[in-house]
Amino acid sequence: MIAAEALAGGFERSVFDAQAVFRAVLSALSRPGQVFDLGERVRPPAPLTAAAGAVIATLADDTTPVHLDAAFAGTAVADWIAFHTGAPLTETPGEATFAIVGRPGGLTFDGFATGTAEYPDRSATLIVILDTLTGGPALRLSGPGIEGTAALAPAPLTPDFMALMTANRALFPRGLDLILTAGTRVAGLPRTTRLSAGGV
Amino acid sequence: MTAPAYNFAYLDEQTKRMIRRAILKAVAIPGYQVSFASREMPMPYGWGTGGVQVTAAVIGPDDVLKVIDQGADDTTNAVSIRAFFAKVADVATTTRTEEATIIQTRHRIPEAPLHEGQILVYQVPIPEPLRFLEPRETETRTLHALEEYGLVHVKLYEDIARHGHIATTYAYPVMVEGRYVMDPSPIPKFDNPKMDHSPALQLFGAGREKRIYAIPPYAQVVSLDFEDHPFEVQTFADPCALCGATGVYLDEVILDDRGGRMFVCSDTDYCEGRRGEAEA
Amino acid sequence: MYVAVKGGEAAIENAHRLLAEKRRGDPAVPELTTEQIAEQLSLAVARVMAEGSLYDPDLAALAVKQARGDLIEAIFLVRAYRATLPRFGNTLPIDTATMAIERRISATFKDLPGGQLLGPTFDYTHRLLEPGAVTDGTRQPVAEAPVDADADAEPIPRVTDLLGRDGLIEPEVDGLDRPVGDLTREPLSFPADRDLRLQALARGDEGFLLALGYSTQRGYARSHPFAGEIRMGEVEVELDVPELGFAVSLGRITVTECQMVNQFKGNAEQPPQFTRGYGLAFGHAERKAMAMALCDRALRARELGEELTAPAQDEEFVISHSDNVQATGFVEHLKLPHYVDFQAELGLIRQLRAEHEAREAGDGTREAAE
């Protein structure tokens, strides 16, 4: 039985909403450290948020398995995603094209596809739901898309986030890409971004 | 038979999603060619279908589109592609490099510096920089995986041995962020330096060959060369005969059959802008 | 004085008007209808459907008309339209064993269950131009169809099934542990499995496949083919609807199937047996189906442990170049302006020549001094 909340709250103007969300995500991954506001384009069931819901509704479809972490267990989120995107849900991180992380305090990169040397693009994209992108401990970012350095202050995140990202960077050109979200806002952390503690 | 109805920006949403996912991976792995299931477009392969698909997946109603071919807004294929998007996406178009949010190009990078927020979409015929050294996709993919780029250097060095300098004048290979050797599309090597640390996002679409790749803003793009034979761009002896610009790429125009010729800006918008300023 | 090339838009519009005029030809001659094309140029329509990968005789006929009879252009029109169509699902595999047969021949048996049925073929016509023979006035009544096309008729077994019963030919196994691929939805990577190769061949240019198939007969990857069977007729297309729990018929389409039977000497794992090459095309398209079957067999060389020696066995070469819409686009794009790159080359050639002349002059002075 699908709950009514799983059916409601999709894009109102799907073609144009998807385009606007995609452009924001493209900008976010092209310019790490900058935050883009998507506005409230979807109203998904909790704990999925407007930004994370909009991103998955924009990018996922029946060809992209989606993995949800334990935060979503027992909620209508899986049904909402299945109804609005047609994406198959998977329990196995290694099968996921997209993964939505609802408990960033327990974030781990274990098991997700990081691509191969020949096809580094065959890797997962993690959509991480946070409380803030700018109000947490400051991180300094450098790499492609950034003129000099940029700053981002996402929270809450696992204490070993920096170590995870450093290990991820070391896999390059393989690796995971992250779309950080908070409320209606997104920021990108592609695999190319180098992190260090402290602001700009 | 009823006339078929087409979606905004021509492509169906499923196709756009597929292309959008490819573009995001391309941005995350600068210079790496992402395979995508390129669609048949209503213009022939080889005429910009890759660029058109990228633009169609990216463009929105608020965008302002500029399309150039050979640096000119008024070449027939540029006119045709601009008209296509004006029709299927109802977007504003412009010839002004400054005003455009998306610039689709074939064979040139505009002379005016690009700014943050702009997207430059290149039409690419052969995306594989190693293709003419090794025709097999299975082989070139392995070479990229192993970062084995000796072949390109050998090719460039053969030129030096034969001619005294590198004899590649366009589609001159670049190294992106120190990892992937990339084909910049058939732009003259004159334009290569503009790719390096550009504030604009650069997207490359190869429709027939089914590849998308990207250079994020402020990314390092280095033209391949040798210590004793550094990379150099073309220079022109005379300024543009119309606007007097120097340090720009010029087209040679044949005036008669007695050797009469003149050199004018290849970037028509840049040339017109300068002439407009001179008159003002 | 130099005038910048302006008015591209007007030029394009005028070109389109001229094209429309040429398409129509002399207005004193009656205009072709798409119905006429679908009915009377049905083999052209079949080719457009096959290589356009879209079964719709009306649209294909329109494309033929719009393209002024240029079939590659017509295929292109159909493909571009097809690319915009949403995908509702995948039909079940068609079963050619249950085909309502219009033509069925086997070159490997004199007679066989179901018999040989020539059907509408050019094969034994004398190729003499006879204007009188293609007008209504001379049409002869056709004898009653010997094979009953109704659904209750006994299916006619395929030759390969007959051979398979005795274990003389390799079994056809569904070796896929994934859904059948679709190169129009997923990017193709090499090596490609047989499902994707067959799809590429089915969409591939008839002329290109014909030449490659021919090359295998002439010794470039010789495979000793026999036309086990060619059959043409209508088959049912069914879609599985999970909600209903059974398959729903979407209609019937005409297809041509060719099963080549090829010699195989066997290897360490397999005993000597016949192997298969498979061809299938929309409509009545025998040459295409046969050429496809030859190419399919040649491309199975790696799988069968055969030595790779010829172009027809080279999967990357064949599949990368078999698509005529891709090929025509890239060949014809040479018409587009390339003057920026040409300028770059012009500059280089001038520089190289100047350097060459300087060297020659230098040699000359040295020689003179010696």
DSSP codes joined into one string, C92-147: PPP-GGG-EEEEEE-SS-SS-TT--B--S-STT------GGGGSGGGPPPPPPPSS
Quick check: C7 pLDDT over 70?
no
Show residues of chain B in contact with A25, CB under 8 Å. Answer: 24
Residue C199 CA from chain centroid, whole number: 9
pLDDT tens digits for range A142-170: 999 999 999 999 999 999 999 999 999 99
Gap between the Cα atoms of B4 and A195, Å rounded: 50
In the chain, the amino acid numbered B275 is: R
Q: What is the pLDDT along chain A (200 residues), one digit of tens a residue?
A: 567 788 889 999 999 999 999 999 999 999 999 999 999 999 999 999 999 999 999 999 999 999 999 999 999 999 999 999 999 999 999 999 999 999 999 999 999 999 999 999 999 999 999 999 999 999 999 999 999 999 999 999 999 999 999 999 999 999 999 999 999 999 999 999 999 987 65
Q: How far is B35 from chain C (nearest CA, A)?
A: 6
pTM: 0.90
pLDDT-derived band at C172, boundaries 50, 70, 90: confident
Q: What is the DSSP letter of C205?
A: -
Measure the CA dihedral C315/C317/C319/C322, to 10°: -140
pLDDT-derived band at C112, boundaries 50, 70, 90: confident
- C345 close to C218: Cβ distance less than 8 angstroms: no
Q: Could you say which of B141, B142, B216 has the minimum Cβ distance to residue A145?
A: B216
Subunits close to C (at least 3 CB pairs below 8 A): A, B
Closest listed residue to residue C205, CA positions, set C313, C39, C329: C329
Q: What is the pLDDT along chain B (280 residues), one digit of tens a residue?
A: 555 577 899 999 999 999 999 999 999 999 999 999 999 899 999 899 999 999 999 999 999 999 999 999 999 899 999 999 999 999 999 999 999 999 999 999 999 999 999 999 999 999 999 988 888 999 999 999 999 999 899 988 888 888 888 889 999 999 999 999 999 999 999 999 999 999 999 999 999 999 999 999 999 999 999 999 999 999 999 999 999 999 999 999 999 888 889 999 999 999 999 999 888 7
The b-or-e profile of C16-26 (16+ CB within 10 A means b, else e) is: eeeeeeeeeee
The dihedrals phi and psi of B208, each to the nearest 5 degrees, come to: -65, -40
Q: How far is A40 from chain B (nearest CA, A)?
A: 18
Which residue matches tokens 């039977």?
A: C261
Show residues of chain B in contact with C60, CB under 8 Å. Answer: none
Q: Which range is least confidently modeled, C42-51, C108-117, C338-347?
A: C108-117
| B58 contacts chain A (CB < 8 A) | yes
- Determine if residue C349 is left, alpha or beta; phi over 0 gives left, psi from -120 to 50 gives alpha, anything else beta: alpha
Q: What is the DSSP letter of A2?
A: -
Q: Which residue has the higher pLDDT, B231 or C110?
A: B231
Closest listed residue to residue A96, CA positions, set A81, A83, A112: A112
Q: Could you say which of B106, B108, B164 has the minimum Cβ distance to residue C355?
A: B164
| C76 contacts chain B (CB < 8 A) | yes
Q: Please state, rounded to an integer, the average pLDDT across all residues of chain C.
A: 89
DSSP-H helix ranges across chain C: 8-24, 34-40, 42-52, 57-66, 71-82, 159-165, 194-203, 206-217, 286-299, 315-321, 324-332, 339-369
Percent of chain C with pLDDT over 90: 62
CA angle A162, A163, A165 (to 5 degrees): 65
Region C267-296: mean pLDDT is 92
Measure the CA dihedral B226/A194/B199/A135, to 10°: -170
Quick check: C330 pLDDT over 90?
yes
Catalytic residue IDs of B: 31, 240, 243, 265, 271
Quick check: C1 pLDDT over 70?
no
- Note if the bond before A173 is cis, omega within 30 degrees: yes
Gap between the Cα atoms of A183 and A54, Å rounded: 11
Give the model's pLDDT for residue C364: 61
* Residue C236 β-bridge partners: C252
Number of residue pairs across A and C with CB atoms under 8 Å? 3
A107 SS3 class: coil
Q: Residue B186, Cβ neighbours under 10 Å: how many?
A: 21
Give the model's pLDDT for residue C5: 44
- C294 close to C213: Cβ distance less than 8 angstroms: yes
CB contact under 8 A, C346 and B253: no
Q: Which residue of A has its CA nearest to B56?
A: A19
Show residues of chain A in contact with B23, CB under 8 Å. Answer: 26
Is beta strand A177-182 parallel, antiparallel or unpaired with respect to B174-176?
A: unpaired
Q: How far is B78 from chain C (nearest CA, A)?
A: 9
Q: Residue C248, Cβ neighbours under 10 Å: how many?
A: 11
Q: What is the DSSP letter of A132?
A: B
Gap between the Cα atoms of B256 and B27, Å rounded: 47
Gap between the Cα atoms of C260 and C299, Å rounded: 13
> What DSSP string runs through chain B?
-PPPP-BTTBS-HHHHHHHHHHHHHHHHSTT--EE--PPP-SS-TTSSHHHHHHHHHH--TT-EEEEEETTBSSSHHHHHHHHHHHHHT--EE-S-TTT-SEEEEES---SSPP-TT-EEEEE-S---TTTTT---HHHHHHHHHTT--HHHHHHHHHHHHHHSS----BS--EEETTTEEE---S-BGGGHHHHTT-SSEEEEEETTTTEEEEE-TT--EEE--BTTB-------SS--TTT---SS-EEEEE-STTS-EEEEES-HHHHHHHHHHHH-
ipTM exceeding 0.90, yes/no? yes
Give the model's pLDDT for residue C342: 93
Q: Could you say which of C79, C332, C348 has the minimum Cβ distance to residue B167?
A: C348
Gap between the Cα atoms of A100 and A72, Å rounded: 9
pLDDT tens digits for range C130-146: 877 777 766 677 765 55
Closest listed residue to residue A97, CA positions, set A105, A106, A87: A87
- Note if the bond before B129 is cis, omega within 30 degrees: no
Show residues of chain A in contact with B8, CB under 8 Å. Answer: 15-16, 19
Q: How far is B122 from chain C (nearest CA, A)?
A: 15
Gap between the Cα atoms of C101 and C119, Å rounded: 9
Contacts of residue B72, defined as CB under 8 A and 6 or more positions apart, other chains included, come to B78, B266, B267, B268, C5
- B102 close to B89: Cβ distance less than 8 angstroms: no
In the chain, the amino acid numbered B125 is: P
- A42 close to A50: Cβ distance less than 8 angstroms: yes
C321 SS3 class: helix
Gap between the Cα atoms of C159 and C114, Å rounded: 10
CB contact under 8 A, B46 and C80: no
Give the model's pLDDT for residue C2: 38
CB contact under 8 A, A144 and B177: yes
Q: Could you say which of A26, A97, A118 has the minimum Cβ distance to residue B23?
A: A26
Q: What is the DSSP letter of A118?
A: S
Number of residue pairs across B and C with CB atoms under 8 Å? 153
